[in-house]
Amino acid sequence: MSMLGPSFRFVIENRTGQTFTVQSAIKVRFRPWKFDSNGQVLWNNSFIMGISSGILPSAANANLTNLSFLGSYTFDNIVDKWVGATIEMDITAPASSNGDVILYLDRSVDGGFQYSDNGLSQIIGSLNFTSSGTKKLTINL
């Protein structure tokens, strides 16, 4: 079983041979959970956007080219102490796509200053495309 950790982010890797327009093609959101004082599971009230239009790490990331990575903002989990999450990844691949879009969970124990090199954190999901189309993956941690 995976845990979110004290500080975490999501990272998408594009291996489809095509360029994605991030604002319309890639969305990652999550609904975290933890245990309350009685040991019952307590869910966050709603999903939190990880990667989507308007919530990109920088305005310069308008596209995600082949063999490149896109990381979300860092989520500080020190106060909330979320243990796990339901994570949804929605991907719309452009024409002639052939390959994988990989979702990583990248954790930091020092408040988000040090993360793994791209491609070396925990793979939590992957979608394979052999043409254009939209696919959705739900992951439960």
Rounded CA separation 73/80 (Å): 16
pTM, two decimal places: 0.89
pLDDT in tens, 25-43: 889 999 999 999 999 999 9
Cα–Cα nearest to 50, from 104, 1, 5: 104
User: b or e along 12-48 (b: 16 or more beta carbons within 10 Å of the residue's beta carbon)?
Assistant: bbbbbebebebeebbbbbbbbbbeeeeeeeeeeeeeb
pLDDT in tens, 53-109: 545 554 445 678 899 998 888 899 988 999 999 999 999 999 999 999 999 999 987
Backbone angles phi and psi of 16, in degrees to 5:
-95, -10
